[in-house]
Amino acid sequence: MREAAPRLEGIDNLRLVLVLLVVVVQGTLSYGMPGSAWWVVRDEPGSPWVGLLGILLELPLLPLLFFIAGYFAVFSVSRRGPGGFLVQKVRCLVPLWVAGVLVAAPLPVYLGQRAGGGAGGFPAFWRHQFFSSRYHQSVYGFFGLLLFFFLILAGAALIPAFARWLDEEPPRDCERCRRDRWKGLLLLYGLTSLGFFLVHREVPLGSWAHWNYLFMAQPLAVPFYGGYFLYGLLAGRGRFLHREWLRDEKAWPRLSRWLPPAIVLLLGYGANRLGVVPEERGEALVQAATALLAGGVVLAWSMVALSCARSLLERRGGLWRRVARNAGGIYWLHPLVLAPLVVLLGAFPRVPPGVRFLVAVTVTVVASLGLSEGLAFLGGRLFRKRARG
């Protein structure tokens, strides 16, 4: 059996930053991003700059969260065994998932319809509309997909060869891992971009799908989720990124190397999203370009984020640690705060939409943090349990 996962404060703080950016993206759905029919709590007219911010931010966030989950899952499944690992994950994720889908996700949809004068009572809406034309799992679909990946990992860990691979200690000085890391990144980029392209041949940008009301995601993003979860497993196993990669004096990836291409790719992806007319989206060449840009954005900004975790987010102090412990609570609670807040701020139409967006996001983060702290204080450990294991 392998040792427990090293305590990496930079990863915990990175997870917090990603969750805060998820809140920002949710805010852009109300104040700028067009075509988000499932998040109907909108404050019209929106700001095009807020919409562009959402387009640029949303792509790398969940793949990075899946990477972090995969990174720590290696240590957890090896330490607990497949059965214990899966039981622990079911206990942690199923309550968050079920309560989110059945209780929390319908509320923003209902408030949006009610603000437009198109809804009656919430119980009737929940029974007759939400599970038909308005069904969406919102941010809580992440828990279901994560549980699905953990189930696959636990099943794979029952295979003797895979179990031995998990338990083997990687070399302390893994020169081969360092030499092969670029091959691994090229393979990750190629496979995820190819997966995006193949799905895009059948599925338009921005579309959502659910599978028998159980799992729900953007089909175009699923190759990134699976690819980066697997890459997290390899990183936790000591491949491509060495075992103590965040604490090594020669930590990799380097911010100076990855930030310039990350900015260029992000600008290219933004130009693609804004500059290509809908009539051209079905062309194979356009879809291939979109896939290559999207894959590049996710990869480059993942490397930037991991570099920042090492260089900027380590040893941030007690306040950071306290807030980071509530990352899961902020993630779960923020739609319940943001949706009614957007409705309330709609009573101030003279305030510019960009200002209302900043107020909504800031208040949502602070209120969600306070609620999470309050629930923890009252003995509710539900939100502080992390998928780390």
Q: Which residue is associated with the tokens 């990134």?
A: 224
Structure tokens at 370: 């306070």
pLDDT higher than threshold 80 for residue 244: no
Sign of CA dihedral 18, 22, 27, 31: positive
Torsion of CA 327, 328, 332, 334, to 10 degrees: -10
Q: Which of 354, 256, 246, 306 is nearest to 17 (CA)?
A: 306
d(CA 22, CA 381): 22
d(CA 147, CA 93): 7
The helix/strand count (H/E) of the chain reads as 13, 2
pLDDT digits (tens, 9 = 90+) for 253-308: 888 899 999 999 999 998 998 888 888 888 999 999 999 999 999 999 999 999 88
d(CA 46, CA 356): 10
d(CA 171, CA 242): 9
pLDDT higher than threshold 70 for residue 209: yes
| DSSP letters for 241-271 | S-TTTTTSTT-SS-HHHHHHHHHHHHHHHHH
Phi, psi of 61 (to 5 degrees): -65, -60
Beta bridge partners of 79: none
What is the per-residue pLDDT for 119? 60
pLDDT digits (tens, 9 = 90+) for 320-363: 888 888 999 999 999 999 988 988 888 888 888 888 999 999 99
- The helix/strand/coil state of 215 is strand
pTM of the model: 0.90
